[in-house]
Amino acid sequence: MKQFTTSDGLTIAYDDQGEGKPVLCLPGLTRDMRDFEPLLAARGDRARIIRMDLRGRGASDWDRNPMEGYTVPVEGRDVIELLDHLEIPRAVIVGTSRGGIIAMLIAAVAKPRLAGVLLNDVGPKIEQSGLDAIMGYLGKRPAAKTHDQAAAGLARFYAGAFPDVDVAAWKVWAERWYDQAPDGLQLRYDPALRDVVAAGGPAPDLWPFFAALADVPLAALRGGNSDLLSSETFEAMKAARPDMIAATVPARGHVPFLDEEESLSTFDKLMEVSL
C-alpha cells in the first residue's frame, strides 16, 4: 500500500499494481480498495490497476471537517490529485456506486483526464428506496461480533438480491468490510459519513453529469436485483448513449462484485475502445 498527501493535508492510501493502460478504481460510499480485489485478481495481468481509499475510508485519513470534506467535489479533487501524483494524464475509471458519481463529476470538470468510464450499478437517477436501505446501516457498527457471525447475517440480509452467494463467500466480503476488534467488528470508514448523507436530502438529479460523459468511452453494469439503479433508468441510459457498453448482471443486487462473467466481459470491451 502506498500513500500521497492531498492539497488540504490528508494522507490518502492507494495501491498500484500491474502494467499497461491505467485503470483507477473508485469504491462506493462506505467501501474501500478491498472491494476491487476480485477485479485485480482477474485482470491485474492485463492493465495497471490502481485502487484508492477515498478520504475517511479504509487506510486513508478521516476528514477533520466531515460536512465539507465528505462531498463528491472534494473527493473528485482527491482523485485528480492522485492522478497528478502518479503523473497519469488520463485513466479509465471503474466507479462503483458513489465512485461512479465521482467519475461523472470529473467528466464535467476535467474530461480530458478520462480515457473511459465503467459505471458499476449507478446512473443519473438514484432510487430513494436504495438510499433508504443504505441509511439503515450507514455509520452503525454491526451487531455481529465476528466475521463468521457477520457472514451469516449478510447471507440472510442479501438472500433475495444475491441468491447464489453462500455464507463462505460472504465471509470473504465481511473480512473486507469490517476489522476485528476485541469488542466486536469495527467499521472501515468514518461514521460521520452518516451525518453528511442525512444532511444531503433527497437524491439529486445527476442527468447533467451523465450528459457530461459525452464523447467518453462508456460502459455500465446493473445488478439485476439492484434497488439503487432501476431497470427503467438503465434503459434510459442506453437510449441516451446508444454506444454505451451495457450489461445486466443476474443474481446480483447493489453492487455486482466485478468477478462475474458479464462484469469482466464489459470491462474488457471498454478497455478495447478506451482512449
Inter-CA distances, 197 with 28, 91, 98, 249, Å:
13, 28, 12, 27
Confidence grade of residue 203 (pLDDT, cut at 50, 70, 90): confident
Supply 170's cell numbers.
460472504
The answer to whether residue 161 scores a pLDDT higher than 90 is: yes
Q: Can you tell me the distance from the alpha carbon of 30 to that of 14, in angstroms, rounded to the nearest whole number? A: 16
261 and 125 share one domain: yes
206 and 153 share one domain: no
Residues 6+ apart with CB under 8 A from 136: none
- pLDDT > 90 in the chain, percent: 98
183 and 94 share one domain: no
48 and 144 share one domain: no
Domain count, the chain: 2
| Domain of residue 77, CATH code | 3.40.50.1820
Domain of 149 in residue numbering reads as 140-188
Instruction: Give me the pLDDT at residue 26, please.
Output: 99
Q: How many CB atoms lie within 10 A of CB 162?
A: 22
Paired residues of 187 in beta bridges: 178
User: pTM higher than 0.75, yes or no?
Assistant: yes
Question: Which segments of the chain does DSSP mark as H helices, in order?
Answer: 37-43, 66-69, 72-85, 98-110, 128-135, 147-157, 167-177, 193-199, 207-211, 231-240, 261-273
106 and 146 share one domain: no
Q: Which of 30, 28, 33 is nearest to 3 (CA)?
A: 33
53 and 77 share one domain: yes
Residues 6+ apart with CB under 8 A from 196: 66, 67, 70, 71
161 and 208 share one domain: no
11 by DSSP, 3-state: which?
Answer: strand
197 and 243 share one domain: yes
- pLDDT > 70 in the chain, percent: 100
181 and 194 share one domain: no
The Cα angle at residue 161 between residues 155 and 164, in degrees rounded to 5:
60
Confidence grade of residue 201 (pLDDT, cut at 50, 70, 90): confident
pLDDT digits (tens, 9 = 90+) for 237-258: 999 999 999 999 999 999 999 9
Q: Can you tell me the distance from the alpha carbon of 243 to that of 234, in angstroms, rounded to the nearest whole number? A: 13
Q: Tell the burial category of 198 from Cβ atoms under 10 Å away from its Cβ (0-12, 13-18, 19+).
A: exposed
Question: How many residues would you count in the chain?
Answer: 275
pLDDT digits (tens, 9 = 90+) for 1-48: 999 999 999 999 999 999 999 999 999 999 999 999 999 999 999 999
183 and 193 share one domain: no
64 and 153 share one domain: no
pLDDT digits (tens, 9 = 90+) for 101-142: 999 999 999 999 999 999 999 999 999 999 999 999 999 999
Instruction: Give me the pLDDT at residue 202, please.
Output: 86
Cis, peptide link before residue 255, omega less than 30° from 0: yes
pLDDT digits (tens, 9 = 90+) for 206-224: 999 999 999 999 999 999 9
pLDDT digits (tens, 9 = 90+) for 55-108: 999 999 999 999 999 999 999 999 999 999 999 999 999 999 999 999 999 999
178 and 68 share one domain: no
